[in-house]
Each structure stands twice: as C-alpha cells, then as structure tokens.
C-alpha cells in the first residue's frame, strides 16, 4: 500500500509540525511553567524537562528516524546508519525524560507509577528498546542472513509503527493529565496556557499521523530492505 505522493515531498509537512511542536512545548515549559532545571528547589522545573525531552527527544526524533528510511534519497547503508542513530538518540533522551519524572516525584514526595500514562510510558520505552536492539542485531551488526532480514523487515516495520503510535497516543495522554492537574489547581480552563497545551497535543497527533503517511508514500527508489518492500 502506498500513497501517490513522494515521501521526500510529503515529509516537509511533518518537519514543519515538528518545529511547531518543539517551539510550543518550549514556550509552555519555559515561559508559562518557569523554566527547565536538573537541580532546583522548585521541583516543577525538574518536571518541565519531562515533556520537553519526551516530545522533542522521543516523539520528534523517533518520527524523524522512521521517515529517514523512506524519504531520504540516499544509499541504503547511509539511511540505515541515520535511522539507527536517530532512534538511539530518541531512546536515550526518552529514558532521561522518564527519569526526570521519577526524579521530580521522588524529590517532591509524590507517588510513582499510579497513572495509566506512566504505566504505558514504561511499557513503550521498553518495547522501543527491544525494537532497537533487534534492529541493530539483525540489520546492522552482526547482521542476520539475507533470508532472515527479508522475513524480519515487515514485522520490524509494523511493530515499530505500532510502538510509535502508542508513544504518540501516550504523549497526548500526558498533556491531558498534566493540564487536568493544573486546571484542578486553579489554572484558567480558557486561558492562554490551557489553549497552548491543547494545541501542542493536537500538533503532536498531526505530526505522528504525517509520519505514518510518509511511510506509506512513495520512496525515492526500490530496494530489498526499504519500507517499500512491504
């Protein structure tokens, strides 16, 4: 199945959405929430690292990693390295982002892992890590046989997209959860900050959707180990 649009051209839409989402989450956490900090007496500044790292580091870079294999007009081996490195960076930043939430909770005497958002987050980052390790071993080093790679590719892609869709959905759930807490603490439900958070969540969903659309569009060339093999 393929959309009759070139992946390279379609990818400009999610790139633009990525920039918009990154700017919006930074404006929210720095302008409205007071800034970012690894160590601070104001523990909210530590938590602010969580949405920034999860959106920019995990969702956006993860999406760029997915699109890179389909949209870039480069040799397969070059795309493979870009794909691998971007996913590794997304995974590392995602782990750090989750750690900042635990750090904030622990230093603020807030219980951990009490919400469906947190449960899903742990599960998703675990699946993401397993997916990366499998991809590294089978497609990069030491590398599986030609038959194993060919048979594994469709499942690797489908499972990766499944995990990514879960991640986008959970990110949206996280925005909802945090905004609900803020509104219950007195934040104006129709104020600028509430609108900003809601629109950031919408941009996140749109970005994820266009990442999927890009995967389903026409790649620059056909080869045995590209998404076009599905």
Query: pLDDT digits over 112-136, tens only?
Result: 999 999 999 999 999 999 999 999 9
- In this structure, is residue 203 part of a structural domain? yes
pLDDT tens sequence across 16-45: 999 999 999 999 999 999 999 999 999 999
Residue 47: give the domain boundaries.
Answer: 1-216
Tell me, what CATH number does 172's domain have? Answer: 1.20.120.1770
- In this structure, is residue 222 part of a structural domain? no
Residue 222 is predicted with a pLDDT of 53
pLDDT tens sequence across 189-219: 999 999 999 999 999 999 999 999 999 998 8
CB 224 within 8 A of CB 195: no
pLDDT tens sequence across 141-152: 999 999 999 999
- In this structure, is residue 221 part of a structural domain? no
With cut-offs at 50, 70 and 90, classify the pLDDT of residue 225.
very low
Q: How many domains does the chain have?
A: 1
- In this structure, is residue 224 part of a structural domain? no
Closest CA to 59 of 200, 217, 224: 200
């Amino acid at each position: 199945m393929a959309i009759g649009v070139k992946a390279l051209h379609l990818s400009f839409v999610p790139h633009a959405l990525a920039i918009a989402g990154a700017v919006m989450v930074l404006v929210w956490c720095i302008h409205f929430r007071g800034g970012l900090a690894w160590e601070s007496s104001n523990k909210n500044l530590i938590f602010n690292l969580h949405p920034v790292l999860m959106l920019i580091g995990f969702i956006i870079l993860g999406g760029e990693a997915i699109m890179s294999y389909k949209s870039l007009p480069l040799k397969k081996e070059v795309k493979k390295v870009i794909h691998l490195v971007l996913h590794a960076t997304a995974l590392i930043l995602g782990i750090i982002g989750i750690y900042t939430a635990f750090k904030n909770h622990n230093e603020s005497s807030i219980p951990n892992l009490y919400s469906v958002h947190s449960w899903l987050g742990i599960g998703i980052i675990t699946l993401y890590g397993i997916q990366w390790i499998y991809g590294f071993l089978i497609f990069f080093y030491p590398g599986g046989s030609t038959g194993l790679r060919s048979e594994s590719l469709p499942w690797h892609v489908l499972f990766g997209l499944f995990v990514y869709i879960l991640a986008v959905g959970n990110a949206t759930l996280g925005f909802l959860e945090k905004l609900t807490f803020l509104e219950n603490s007195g934040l104006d439900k129709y104020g600028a900050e509430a609108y900003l958070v809601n629109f950031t969540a919408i941009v996140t969903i749109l970005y994820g959707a266009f990442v999927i659309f890009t995967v389903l569009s026409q790649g620059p060339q056909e080869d045995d180990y590209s998404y076009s093999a599905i």
